[in-house]
Amino acid sequence: MPVTAFLVEDNKVIRDNLIPTIESLSGARVDGTAETEEDAITWLISHNGDWDVAVVDLFLREGSGLRVVDRCRERQPHQRVVMLSNYATAEMRRQALSLGADAVFDKSTEIEGLVGYLQALNGPR
């Protein structure tokens, strides 16, 4: 069974390109999306154990991806949280990891790293 991903991304163009990239290259299945902090947290609460990885942008239409990451602290042991941002500075990476992110990737230069990370979660293909 493929890894189930939840994508928190407010930019429609990026979201519409990222979903097929994630699904075709990593084998993961994007099961839900959100554009705001509040919508992301609501989805996570209502789908408590139903996701394997949350891929979260830092800057959202409303709110912050860091607060979404923080909200995921008390997740199931198999669940992972990844920060994906164009603003993947050393300080932002440190902050995201300290709030419970398992990995941080830069949208503009590390998409292959994200795909590889998701492939590893998905197991051998």
pLDDT of residue 1: 79
pLDDT of residue 22: 96
pLDDT of residue 124: 61
User: What are the residue ranges in the chain where pLDDT is below 70?
Assistant: 124-125
pLDDT digits (tens, 9 = 90+) for 10-20: 999 999 999 99
33 near 2, Cβ under 8 Å?
no
81 near 102, Cβ under 8 Å?
yes
How many folded domains does the chain comprise? 1
Cα dihedral 7, 79, 76, 91, rounded to 10, equals -80
* CATH code (residue 30): 3.40.50.2300
Determine the structural domain holding residue 88 and report its residue range. Answer: 4-122
- Report the C-alpha gap between 98 and 45 in whole angstroms: 21
